[in-house]
């Protein structure tokens, strides 16, 4: 059993107006609705609202990841292995795109969004992108996407992991394109993104 991640688009204003002690409960409901009967089977792509009880959240189901965090982790590892071989313009753009989504940061995600708890009942979010960051992230993708194919040979030579979650360049590019969909929709709504470990 491994770590899972559920990605939510969140109306940051509604989250801020939710009493701090109730925020995690609302986000947990959005990630794992109690009354799942309204949605017969999870489908890939966006689900709006994520739950009828939390209309200010949407949930994104990635194609082929079964909710696991592993593909996202291995995509970040793949970028780390291939990054030195990328053209400078692609390197800069992909760094800007991936940094808020998949790359490790010294600053804890979602700092200040949730009440501090010396013994939290829920692990910290895996990612937190406030609304102001998403247009910048989308702009980085707009610069990276036309250059991405130029990374194919270097990625497959230096970062491929046959049989793994992200076995080759095609799997890497497919996951990045899904992240681009996630970022674009949240940015269009003026919402933020949270990646929750559920």
Identify how many contiguous H helices and E strands the chain contains and give both numbers.
Answer: 7, 5
pLDDT tens-digit series, residues 136-173? 999 999 999 999 999 999 999 999 999 999 999 999 99
Q: Enter the DSSP assignment of 106.
A: S
Q: How is residue 191 written in tokens? A: 């919402």
pLDDT of residue 115: 61
Beta pairing, strands 127-129 & 192-196: antiparallel
Neighbours of 178 (CB within 10 A): 20
pLDDT of residue 29: 93
**Comparing C-alpha atoms, which of 185, 158, 197, 180 is closest to residue 32?**
197
pLDDT of residue 15: 94
pTM, two decimal places: 0.90
**Comparing C-alpha atoms, which of 132, 147, 167 is closest to residue 91?**
147
Cα 194 to Cα 198: distance, rounded to the nearest angstrom: 11
Beta pairing, strands 6-10 & 192-196: antiparallel
Report whether 196 contacts 125 (CB < 8 A): yes
Q: Which residues of the chain have pLDDT under 50?
A: 1, 38
Whether the ω angle into residue 80 lies within 30 degrees of 0, i.e. cis, is no
Cα 177 to Cα 160: distance, rounded to the nearest angstrom: 18
């Amino acid at each position: 059993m491994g770590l899972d991640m559920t990605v939510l688009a969140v109306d940051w204003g509604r989250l801020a107006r939710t009493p701090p002690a109730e925020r995690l409960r609302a986000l947990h409901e959005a990630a794992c609705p109690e009354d799942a009967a309204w949605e017969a089977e999870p489908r890939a792509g966006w689900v709006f609202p994520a739950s009828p009880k939390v209309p200010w959240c949407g949930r994104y189901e990635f194609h082929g990841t079964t909710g696991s965090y592993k593909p996202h982790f291995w995509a970040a590892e793949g970028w780390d292995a291939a990054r030195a071989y990328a053209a400078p313009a692609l390197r800069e753009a992909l760094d800007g795109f991936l940094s808020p989504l998949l790359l490790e940061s010294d600053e804890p995600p979602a700092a200040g969004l949730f009440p501090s708890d010396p013994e939290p009942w829920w692990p910290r979010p895996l990612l937190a992108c406030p609304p102001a960051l998403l247009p910048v992230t989308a702009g980085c993708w707009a610069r990276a996407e036309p250059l991405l194919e130029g990374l194919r040979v270097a990625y497959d030579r230096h970062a491929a992991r046959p049989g793994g979650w992200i076995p080759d360049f095609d799997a890497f590019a497919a996951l990045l394109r899904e992240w681009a969909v996630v970022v674009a929709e949240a940015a269009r709504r003026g919402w933020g993104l949270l990646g929750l470990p559920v």
